[in-house]
Homo-oligomer: A and B are copies of this chain.
Amino acid sequence: MAGTEVERLIGLLARLPGLGPRSARRAALHLLKKREALLQPLTAALADADAKVKTCQVCGNFDSVDPCTICSDASREATICVVEDVAGLWAMERTGLYKGRYHVLGGVLSALDGVGPDDLGLDRLLDRVGRGEGSEVILAIGATVDGQTTAHYISDRLAVTGAKVSGLAQGVPVGGELDFLDDGTIGAALRARRPLA
């Protein structure tokens, strides 16, 4: 009904996370209406990202240089934060509180999805810790079953290095109301309660 080019564009847009068939149609129309302001710049940005963005061979971050700007920044502290994917790295960077380096796992251990220890680049992580690149390893992995299994496994593997291993605190999110939180989170926050005075 809308020409094969438009149908194909809609089909590909619908494969982006967060866009269903209806929003992909809206996005395609929006692009066709704003050719110079949006469609053409987006085409160029995609081609540019494809040509220039590489995976950092040290930490797994996406950047236009390899090693990435974080890995080659000598002022970064000797701490390695282990994140599940690049989105986690970006989230940590946004806090502005973390000044160390990263290791991007690219997933978590999952028997169901066939993800084993070899897929997470742990030898690379152990090498870096062994070379003294991280005297502390912070496991910033999601509090899911697979995530926590992965954290335990990495923590075990790191034991031989003598590095300090820590995990993010669990508790009530900032701005979170108790009534909307699940029991597990409230329980974790209660067990980890801290004195206020």
A interface vs B, CB < 8 Å? Answer: 1-6, 8-9, 12-13, 15-19, 23, 25-32, 35, 38-43, 45-50, 52-53, 61-65, 68-70, 85-87, 90, 93-94
Q: Work out how many copies of this chain go into the complex.
A: 2
| Chain B neighbourhood of A85, CB < 8 A | 29
Asked if B69 and A3 make an inter-chain contact with CB atoms under 8 angstroms apart, the answer reads yes
Asked if A46 and B42 make an inter-chain contact with CB atoms under 8 angstroms apart, the answer reads yes
The listed residue (B29, B42, B53, B86) touching A12 by CB distance below 8 A is: B42
| Chain B neighbourhood of A3, CB < 8 A | 52-53, 62-65, 68-69
For residue A68, which residue of chain B has the nearest CB?
B3
A31-B16 CB under 8 A given contacts A25-B90, A46-B42: yes
The answer for the CA separation of A53 and B169 in the assembled complex, in Å, is 53
